[in-house]
Structure formats: C-alpha cells, structure tokens
Structure 1
Amino acid sequence: MIRHRLVDQICLAGLVVALMITALLSVWASVQEENGVAMAYETRLFDDTRVHTIDITIDDWSALIEEAQEERYVPCTMTIDDEVFRQVGIRAKGNNSLRLTSEYELARYSLKVEFDHYLPQGNYHGLDKLSLDASFQDNSYLKTVLAFDMMRFMGVPTPLCSYAWVRVNGEDWGLFLAVEECEEAFASRNFGWDHGVLYQPDYRSLNDENADVALRYIDEQPSSYPNIFDHAKTPMVHSDQRRLIEALRKLSQGEVTTAVHTDEVLRYFVVQVFVMNWDSYLGHTGHNYILYEEEGRLWMLPWDYNLAFGTYALGMSDPIRDPNVLINYPIDTPAEGSIMRQRPLYHELMKEDALFAQYHSLFSPFLADYFDSGRFEALLQEKEALIAPYVKKDPTAFCSYADHQLAVDTLRQVCQKRKESIQGQLEGRYPSTLAQQQAQPGVGVDAAMIDLRALGDFDDLRNAKERQQAALARITDAK
C-alpha cells in the first residue's frame, strides 16, 4: 500500500512538473511570437558600436564590376572580423544607383552577399543574406542609419545595420554599411519562428502600371500580382497568396482595420513622411518597402534610404530643388493627389477620422522624445566620430572628407528644420496639405540657407570617377 501510494505521489509530481514545463514552454513560445527570436548575428557583425572588417577574396573583381548590370552571383571567400566563410555568393545590387554607377563609369557598387547561394546550409551565425550599402548619393554616410534609428524608436520592425571597412584581395575598398536583408532570419528575429510571409514588391519597368507594387486590388488571381509574389522573401504557398489578395480587397473597400496592422503602419508613415523619402511607396516609384503579411493583415517595413531627406531626383522630369518647398512638404498630403489616390495603404488609412487623428498624435512624441530628448544629436555625433577616420581614408568615396563633414552638418539642419515645420503644421500655423500651401504660398519655416545638394548630387558622381578607377586598378594590379 505504501509502495502504491509512493508511486502515485511520484506520478502526480511528474504530472505537475510536466504541466509546469508545458506552461513555461507555452509562455516562452508566446513571448517568442510576440517579441521575436534572439539571433546570434545580432551581437557580432551588427554590433553597431564599432566599425567591422570585411575582407573579400575573389578571383576576378574587375569582372564583377564590369558585369555589374547582370547582377549575377560569383563565389568569393569572405572574412568577417577574422571569421572565414567560403563559397559565399556576391553580386552588385541596386536600381537607378546600379544604372548610374555604370553610366558614370564608377566602380563602387552596393553589394548583395548570400551565404547560402552555393552552400545550402551556408549562413553567418543564422543570417542567410546581407547587403553592403555603398552610400550612393549619401555624402553623410548617415541617411539609412538615421532613418532606421527613427523607425526603431517608433517601434517599427527594422533591419539591423552597422559600418564595415571592406577590403578586396588585400586592398582597401571603402567604408560600407552592412544591412540585414529582410528574409527568413529577419522574420524570425522580429516575429518569432511561426512568422508570416515577407515580400519586397518591386517593378519590372517603371513605365508599367505596377498596380500590385502600389498594393491596389486587381482581382482574385495570384498571377495578377507578379511584382509581389515573384519577390517573396520567405517561403510562400497558395493560401498565403489568397490571404494577401483578400487583405488588398478589404483595403480597397475601406475595411482598413481588418486588413492592416494600423498602429504599426501609422508609425511607419510618421517616419517615412518626416524623412521626405520619395523613392518609396509615397513617391513616383511606389517601391522600396518591405511588405509583411500575417493572418491576413499587412505591415509595411522600412528599406532603402540613401535618397531620403529630400534628395530624390531620379525619374523626375522636373525635380524640385527648393529647400523651402521640400522641408515644408505637407504631412497630410505627402504626394500629389494623382499619386496618393493610387496608394491605398496610405490613402485609405487617412480617410478614417480616428486613424487620421492617431497619425497626427504619433508625431508629437516622435518630435519631442526623439529630438528634444537629445537622442538625435547624440546619435549624429556618435556615428560621425565613429566613421570619421574611415571616411578620411576611403579610397572609393563619392566625396571628399570636407564634403562629408558639410553633408553631416546639412543633414542636421534638414532634420531640425523639418521638425520645426511639422510642429507648425500640427499646430495649424503652417499649411499641412498641398491645397493649403497653394492658398498660402511661402508660409512655413525658412530653409533657404540649406543646400540639399550637399547631401549627395550628380556632381559628386562625376568627381569620383578617377578616384574609384584608381582603387580598382590597385586591386587588378595586385592580382
């Protein structure tokens, strides 16, 4: 009897322990789903307190540069902070930046690095792919870092990034920004193992209608959305396509709250509008964003800010250059009506009074807690001090070190004046729509002292040719 009782007690204790473990695992799983999964690469390459080193060993670097337009991967050995990774895929990347780098006979391309391109299980501490951003038309080297920090501050899932000094075949190549690509590892890090699907919609030709890139509902057929589904960044099945199409249908009917994670997307648009990035969903191109769908609802996540802060002119027949116009650009109509009406993820949200009010209310803590708290200035000073020695010796830089310093000061002025303008728009002192601006011309902050060309312009591309070709020749001669 005693033995049976003891056995019963042991069984009961075992059951209790099992239930406790199950409960703990359940809690852990819910936390992982809510907060994402810690990834090993976060504290390695993406430790942003220092400049990392990336050494690329490759058979023919000149061929990669000459054939950059083909965007074809070639193998290399990559040493990241003294860790060696073999059979890594590398290629040039970009849209207009890729084309213009070639047209100006330059050699400094942004690069895509894929650890599992040749080796199915290849990865960098759990990361399958990253980009090396060349800071094309960004003399400050800070636009993406700053925009990403603003997004992160506002609670938007954002790629990790850090600076890296890149060498090719033993020769210095320059200071690049390493950026976490938004694929499987990014999805797990931000949304947990049981995440939804990531897409990076992009156009095949800017002359096409590109309704799917604009997230407009077309019909029920997945084949009508090639610019979305052909750019899935995580595994996708037919049911995923159906859910996304249904979300677009609901969005087109004004069923916003059932189709969109409204709070998160509004936070994204607060920063997107602040940084005046028109090479984006809110601009003529309509691309350069990451789309995330989970359980039939959509998120918009940040990507590509080298042409932000009012410096986008590519693709515009008559680009606006007046800093008074750009820095005072209205927050309620951040693009012309012909564009806004074709951007339902912004337009439909702003048609809802409660969501429009929430959008306005989110600006206030952003302006106060990000800028007035000193975070902005501290970040600017910290990053400038970190990269200054590397910018000085960058052999393929698009600008001189003096031009870089001017760009950092200009970026500071742009953000300060943009903050003043938006504060005035929120308070009703300055026009917040294009129609109001037409009725009140010249009303807004005075930004005439700012020359936005200092942030990066076409003259910089012309002046960089000799410097970049000389760096390329050193690598070629070293072989």
Structure 2
Amino acid sequence: MISNKFVYSIMAGLIALFLIVLMVLPNLGVEAKNDEFSYETKLFNEKKVTTVDIEINEEDWADILKNPNKEEYKEASVTINGERIGNVAVRTKGNSSLMSVANSDSNRYSLKIDFDHYDNTQSFYGLKKLNLNNNFSDTTQMKEYVSYEMMESMGLATPDHSYMNVTVNGEDYGLMLGVEAVDETFLAKNYGSNDGFLYKPDGTGSDLKYISSDIDDYSGLNPKTNESNLDQSNILDMIDVINNGGDIEEYIDVDNMLRYFATTTALVSMDSYQGMMKHNYYLYEEDGKFSIIPWDYNMAFGGFSMGGMGDMGDRPMPEGMENMDMSKLMEGGEMQLPEGQELPEGIKGGNMLDAMTNEEIMTDEAINFDIYNPVQSTTLEDRPLLNALLENEEYLAKYEKYLEEVSTKYFTEENVSKITREVSATILTYVKADPSKFTTTEQFLAGVSGENSLAAFAGARSESILKQLSGELVIDSKSAEEDPQVDHNTEPKESPPIQSTQDDSGQSEKSEGMKPPEGFDPENMPEGMDLPEGFDPSKMPDGMGQGQMGDSGENVDPVSSMKSLALTLGSLLILLLAIFGVKKFNRRGFR
C-alpha cells in the first residue's frame, strides 16, 4: 500500500518545483526582453559610427529626390554593419527642415527607414523604425545628441541615438544622427507596456488649450496608438483640468513633466511646446496619467528664433501662420503663404537654408532666457500645461530644484565639453569626408571647443540659471509684460532650499507588492504539507505576465510576458493535479 507519507512527499516535491519555476520566471522574462530589444547594442553604439547602406531602385530614389515633400515610401533593402535586411521602406521626413532643403540646392534629406512597413513581423533586433536625421540648422552637428544625453541624465525616457554613416546605392549620402522612433517598441521597452495612448501633437489643439468636449475639434493631437479606442482616453479630461482647474495629479505625471520642462528650458529648445510651433513632443497616457517624451532637438541651444530662423527674435509668425503645419507651406518647391502675408525678414525668398545654418549661439537672448517665463513668441497662458505647473508653488519649487540639478550636474561646461570631445573623436573623420554636410568642418570643430562651443554655451547658460534662481539676475521679459498673470520676475526672490541629490520620483517605479497566483491559498495546504523554508507568498511577482517591473528593475516586454504566463499556467496545472491526487488518496483511505 502507498502510505500518506510517500504521497505527501511526492506532492510536496511537485509544489516545490512549481514554486521554484515561478520564482525563476522573472529572470526568464528579462532574458527575453534583452533579446527583444537588443537593437540598443546592435545598432545604437555611441562609441562608434554605424554604417547604413541603402539599396533602392534608381528610379524610385530619383522620385524621392524630385518629390521630397510627398514623403512617399519606396521599397529598398538596408545593410547595417554588414547585416542585410530586405523588403524595407524608405522615405524623406521632416517639417521645416524638409521644406527648407526641398527649396534649396541640397539633397541632404532626413530619412525614415520602416522595417515592418511591408511585413509587420519584420524588425531589426526588435526595432521597427529608424530615423536618420540630417542635423539641419546645426553647424555643430551635436545639438540633438547632447540634448538627448541631458534628457537621459534627468531620468526621462529618451529615444536611443548614435551617429550613422549612410550610403545610397554605393554612393556616400552623409553622416546622420540615427534616432529610435517613439512607437510601440519604444513604449514597451521604457514603460513595460504599450497598451496606453500615444499622441504626437502638432497643429490644432497641440497647445493643449481647451476648445470643446469633442475630440474631433483637436485635429492636431495626432494619436499614434489605440486610434480606434480614443473614447477610453483621458486626453480631454487632462486638457480640461489644466485649463479650467482641478486635480492635475489625477491626469499628469507631474514629476516627469517638471523634469522635462526644466531640461528643455535649460537647453533653450524653443522648437517645442514652449515655442510658437507648439510641437516636437509626445504625450503617453498610461493608466490614465500622461507623461511627456522628448523629441527633436537640432534647434536647441537657442537655435530656433534666437539666431536661427533668420534671427526672428521675439517676433511672432505672420498673422494667419501661427497654427499652420510648416510642411504644408511648400507646394511645387515654392513657399505658399496666406494671401497678403510675408515671411519675416531674413528668410524671405523661400530659402531658409542659409539663414538656418549661419548661427551664433552665444547670444544674450539665449543665454539669459527667462526660466520663470520659459516661452517664446507666445505666453504662458497660451501654453496651459506649463502654466498649470508653474503657477503651483509646490511644483514651481520642484521645477527650480530640477533646474538647479541640470545646471550643476549635467549641463555644465565641463560635462558638455567631455561629451562633445568624445563625439568629435568618434565622428571627425566622417565629418571631414561628408559630401553633403550643410556647413564646414571648421564650424563643427568650433562647436567642440572655444568661445562659441556648445560647452561654452552650457557654462554661460547654467551660470545664468543659477543667478536667476538666487534672485541675483532678474529678466525683464517682454512676454511677461504682455501676460499679467506672469509675475515671477517683478522683483528679486529668495529661492527655497535646493536639494543637491536626485530623488527617485522620476524613475520607473518597482512593484510595491508581490502576490501569489489567483486561487492559490497557502492556508489550505493538504495536511502534512508545508511550503519550502524561507518561502514568503507575499513576495511572489505581482501581475505576472502583465509587463510590469519586477524586483530586478527590468521591464518585461509583452512577448516574454506571454511566455511567462504559459509557463505559470502549466506549473499551476501541475499543482492542482497534485492537490487533487492527495484528496483522492485521502478519500480512498490508503495507508
């Protein structure tokens, strides 16, 4: 006869095996995640230049160059560091940069490579789309790179980026900055899930001013995920609250937003939500709350409307152009403006290329850009997301703290000099050989070191920020005079104590608790059976298979989550069979 002791020993062994497998699953998920997103190391290597060779039908390439504003995909194959991927799509990309290059004698367009355009199962080690940016309006070719480095340092989810040397049909095309697309893959990697709502605002409603309760009235919000389920998004509630009052923490990741605006303000990047174009940012809604994702910094360091764009200064765009999509201003290679309107002085004639590449970054306007009224050619009232944050004393104090942090730790002359020198050591040979670069090698080197370098700008800008924080420097802002609500600079102020250490509030949160599988009750174990010594059911992973953060701090992507879920269910089935077997033996009275 089979004794109870023997049966219980077998059952205990099966349960122990189940628990061991269950506890190992998070590590299996991490391995799957690392494989799923291995493009981070396969493609975006900041220590060397990646080679990207595009092969495309000559007629298709000629059509792209002849009709760049169509942004029409053409089939091609791409070889990256010797590894060939066929059946991919290539097109031009851009907004004002595309318009300007199209209206010049240059063919140096930014490009987008879509690996899954024709085959939705295809990717490059998990990456579905790659942007190749031409560094337009940036004589240093490093503004966007340095800006993303600052964003990463401040704990923001930031696209991967590195330099790439591009050829087309064997001919040198140019040195580009490769930038990861913000899409479902980016979301899964950085947030552990891509189930939320992603928006790329640009156009009507991108200022986030309240228009109505009808989502159709916000045509410029541009949803990128879950387009068919927008009625489940909190986007209209968020817009209502920031404009009309309410608990904004219910709808906004305040810490994320403050880090973003502090860093963008330090960088003086006004081709953004804070400028007249009110674009170049993403909003991602996860579990009802919105965070902001940085995007497009080739006109940072005061390059937009501060020495760039024909030195427009604080002058707004001509009446009738404020809400226009810049890419729509080009038709047939000519600028199409509203009737009776002209471009500002310096960019007349429709060719902005010369104006945008003849820049001077060490201007008083850029260096002493007002941190308390950090908008240009607009008002805080017309940028309600930023206004709602800065008019709150608690949030303002935290914004000041992050400004102090970025100015003393990251956006310093020493740190930026280190970054630009490392970049120069990596790409200088390619810069010299680049046949299509907009500016000269000498201008690139001037951005690396010297009195007009990015490092010199960072040093002067950070010094100005710290003086503004202390009240030593007060900016007499023209925009503040026009907007009576903005009164931060009417007199010197005493800043609150500033913490020099960074807290964890902006980092990805780890799970607070860990739960056993649904239906598993350790209190009702069969008589004579005990859980393994040291096992604590309260420390089992919470929401296994939901793409959440585990104790490892790594994101578990949706694919590995499904594998983990399958293993979990299989192990749970073994456990249930074991318990069923014990009860059956007990009923039959085996001794």
TM-score w.r.t. length of structure 1: 0.83
Residue in 2 that maps onto 1:352? 392
Residue in 2 that maps onto 1:405? 445
Residue in 1 that maps onto 2:198? 198
Residue in 1 that maps onto 2:300? 308
Residues 434, 233 of structure 1: CA spacing in aligned structure 2 closer, same or farther, 3 A cutoff?
same
Residue in 1 that maps onto 2:47? 49
1:296-335 correspondence runs (5 A): 296-313=288-305, 318-319=312-313, 323-335=363-375
**1:282 pairs with one of 270, 274, 281:** 274
Deviation at 1:23, TM superposition (A): 5.2
Whole-angstrom CA distance in 2 between matches of 1:138 and 1:337: 21
Residue in 2 that maps onto 1:226? 219
> Contact (CA 8 Å) 1:88, 1:115: kept in 2 or not?
yes
Residue in 2 that maps onto 1:255? 247
Give the counterpart letter for 2:447 in structure 1: A
> Contact (CA 8 Å) 1:53, 1:164: kept in 2 or not?
yes
Give the counterpart letter for 1:340 in structure 2: L
Whole-angstrom CA distance in 2 between matches of 1:366 and 1:408: 20
Deviation at 1:433, TM superposition (A): 6.1
Whole-angstrom CA distance in 2 between matches of 1:303 and 1:394: 25
Residues 36, 262 of structure 1: CA spacing in aligned structure 2 closer, same or farther, 3 A cutoff?
farther
Residues 436, 121 of structure 1: CA spacing in aligned structure 2 closer, same or farther, 3 A cutoff?
closer
Deviation at 1:388, TM superposition (A): 0.6
Whole-angstrom CA distance in 1 between matches of 2:252 and 2:284: 10
- Say which is worse superposed, 214-223 or 161-170, in terms of deviation: 214-223
Whole-angstrom CA distance in 1 between matches of 2:66 and 2:118: 22
Residue in 1 that maps onto 2:322? none
Residue in 2 that maps onto 1:449? none
Whole-angstrom CA distance in 2 between matches of 1:345 and 1:242: 17
Does residue 104 (structure 1) correspond to residue 144 (structure 2)? The answer is no
SS state at 2:135 partner: coil
Does residue 418 (structure 1) correspond to residue 409 (structure 2)? The answer is no
Deviation at 1:244, TM superposition (A): 2.0
> Any idea what the Cα deviations from partners look like across 1:299-345, whole Å, max 9, x if unmatched?
11110011111111377894358811221011010125943112121
Percent identity at matched positions?
32
> Any idea what the Cα deviations from partners look like across 1:78-117, whole Å, max 9, x if unmatched?
1011010111111111111111101113100001111111
Deviation at 1:364, TM superposition (A): 1.9
> Any idea what the Cα deviations from partners look like across 1:111-139, whole Å, max 9, x if unmatched?
11111111221211111111000011111
- Say which is worse superposed, 305-314 or 150-159, in terms of deviation: 305-314
Residues 435, 56 of structure 1: CA spacing in aligned structure 2 closer, same or farther, 3 A cutoff?
closer
Deviation at 1:196, TM superposition (A): 2.1
Residue in 2 that maps onto 1:431? 474
Deviation at 1:195, TM superposition (A): 4.5
SS state at 2:277 partner: coil
**1:362 pairs with one of 402, 409, 428:** 402
- Say which is worse superposed, 151-160 or 169-178, in terms of deviation: 169-178
Whole-angstrom CA distance in 2 between matches of 1:55 and 1:424: 48
> Any idea what the Cα deviations from partners look like across 1:154-205, whole Å, max 9, x if unmatched?
00000000111111111111100110000011001100135422221112xx
Whole-angstrom CA distance in 2 between matches of 1:404 and 1:129: 28
> Contact (CA 8 Å) 1:89, 1:118: kept in 2 or not?
yes
Residue in 2 that maps onto 1:469? none
Residue in 2 that maps onto 1:59? 57
SS state at 1:301 partner: strand
Structure 2 residue runs of 5 or longer lacking an equivalent are 315-359, 482-486, 493-591
Structure 1 residue runs of 5 or longer lacking an equivalent are 204-209, 444-479
> Any idea what the Cα deviations from partners look like across 1:379-417, whole Å, max 9, x if unmatched?
111011111110001000101111221233322221111
- Say which is worse superposed, 130-139 or 428-437, in terms of deviation: 428-437
Residues 426, 432 of structure 1: CA spacing in aligned structure 2 closer, same or farther, 3 A cutoff?
farther
Does residue 267 (structure 1) correspond to residue 259 (structure 2)? The answer is yes
Give the counterpart letter for 1:45 in structure 2: L
> Contact (CA 8 Å) 2:275, 2:378: kept in 1 or not?
no
> Contact (CA 8 Å) 1:36, 1:190: kept in 2 or not?
no
Deviation at 1:374, TM superposition (A): 4.1
Whole-angstrom CA distance in 2 between matches of 1:81 and 1:37: 18
Give the counterpart letter for 1:407 in structure 2: G
Residues 336, 137 of structure 1: CA spacing in aligned structure 2 closer, same or farther, 3 A cutoff?
closer
Does residue 384 (structure 1) correspond to residue 384 (structure 2)? The answer is no
- Say which is worse superposed, 11-20 or 263-272, in terms of deviation: 11-20
Residues 69, 338 of structure 1: CA spacing in aligned structure 2 closer, same or farther, 3 A cutoff?
closer
Count of residue pairs brought into register by the alignment? 430
Give the counterpart letter for 2:224 in structure 1: K
Residue in 2 that maps onto 1:454? none
> Any idea what the Cα deviations from partners look like across 1:201-226, whole Å, max 9, x if unmatched?
112xxxxxx2x211223333222222
> Any idea what the Cα deviations from partners look like across 1:423-450, whole Å, max 9, x if unmatched?
1111111015626998999x9xxxxxxx
Deviation at 1:12, TM superposition (A): 2.7
Deviation at 1:371, TM superposition (A): 4.5
Residues 6, 247 of structure 1: CA spacing in aligned structure 2 closer, same or farther, 3 A cutoff?
farther
Give the counterpart letter for 1:290 in structure 2: Y
Whole-angstrom CA distance in 2 between matches of 1:372 and 1:303: 22
SS state at 1:413 partner: helix
Residue in 2 that maps onto 1:130? 130
Whole-angstrom CA distance in 2 between matches of 1:339 and 1:24: 54
> Contact (CA 8 Å) 2:412, 2:458: kept in 1 or not?
no
Whole-angstrom CA distance in 1 between matches of 2:312 and 2:137: 19
Residue in 2 that maps onto 1:217? 210
Give the counterpart letter for 2:424 in structure 1: E
Residue in 2 that maps onto 1:166? 166
Give the counterpart letter for 1:47 in structure 2: N
Residues 336, 148 of structure 1: CA spacing in aligned structure 2 closer, same or farther, 3 A cutoff?
closer
Deviation at 1:278, TM superposition (A): 1.1
SS state at 1:226 partner: coil
Deviation at 1:2, TM superposition (A): 4.7
Residues 420, 437 of structure 1: CA spacing in aligned structure 2 closer, same or farther, 3 A cutoff?
farther
Residue in 2 that maps onto 1:80? 80
SS state at 1:238 partner: helix
Give the counterpart letter for 1:408 in structure 2: V
SS state at 1:227 partner: coil
The structure having more radius of gyration, on CA atoms, is 2
Give the counterpart letter for 1:216 in structure 2: K
SS state at 1:132 partner: strand
Residue in 1 that maps onto 2:11? 11
Instruction: Report which of the two has the higher share of helix.
Output: 1
RMSD value, Cα = 2.8
SS state at 2:233 partner: helix
